[in-house]
Amino acid sequence: MRLLAGLVIALAGGAIGAAAVHWKVADPSALLSSAAPSGGGAGEGARAPQPVSVEVTEAREVLTSDDIAAIGSLESDESIQLAPEVAGRVAAINFQEGQAIKAGEVLVLLDDALARASEQEIKVRLDLANANYERARRMTASGTGTTRDLDTALAERSTAETLLNSQRVQVAKHSLSAPFDGVVGLRNVSVGSYVGVGTALVNLEKIDVLKVGFKVPERYLQNIRVGQTVDVSVDAFPGQAFEGTIYAIDPMLDVNGRALNVRARLSNSEMTLRPGLFARIVIKGFDERKAVSIPESAVVARGQERLVWTIVDGHAQEAKIRITARKVGSIEVEGVEPGTVVVTAGQPRLRNGAPVTIVGGEQVARTTGSNG
Please, which pLDDT band fits residue 288 given cuts at 50, 70 and 90? confident
Instruction: Enter the pTM of the model.
Output: 0.61
User: Which residues of the chain form beta strands (DSSP E)?
Assistant: 52-58, 60-82, 88-93, 100-101, 106-110, 175-177, 182-184, 194-195, 202-217, 229-234, 242-249, 259-267, 278-295, 300-302, 305-312, 315-327, 330-334, 341-345, 356-360
Task: Give yes or no for a contact between 270 and 284, defined as CB atoms under 8 angstroms apart.
Answer: no
- Tell me which residue of 309, 213, 189, 304 sits closest to 261, measured CA to CA: 213
Taken in order of first residue, the domains within the chain and their CATH numbers are 52-63+290-365 (2.40.420.20), 68-76+207-289 (2.40.30.170), 84-110+175-200 (2.40.50.100), 112-173 (1.10.287)
Between CA 181 and CA 102 the distance in angstroms is: 4
Q: Which amino acid is present at 85?
A: E
- Tell me which residue of 191, 186, 220 sits closest to 97, measured CA to CA: 186
pLDDT in tens, 99-112: 999 999 999 999 99
Q: Which amino acid is present at 336?
A: V
Q: What is the mean pLDDT of residues 326-345?
A: 89
pLDDT in tens, 247-280: 999 999 988 889 999 999 999 999 999 999 999 9
Q: What is the mean pLDDT of residues 185-200?
A: 97
DSSP-based helix, strand, coil % in the chain, nearest 5: 30, 40, 30
Q: Is 109 helix (H, G, I), strand (E, B) or coil?
A: strand
- Residue 91: other Cβ atoms inside 10 A: 15
Show Cβ contacts of residue 72 under 8 Å, excluding neighbours closer than 6 positions: 212, 213, 214, 215, 279, 281
Mean pLDDT of the chain: 85
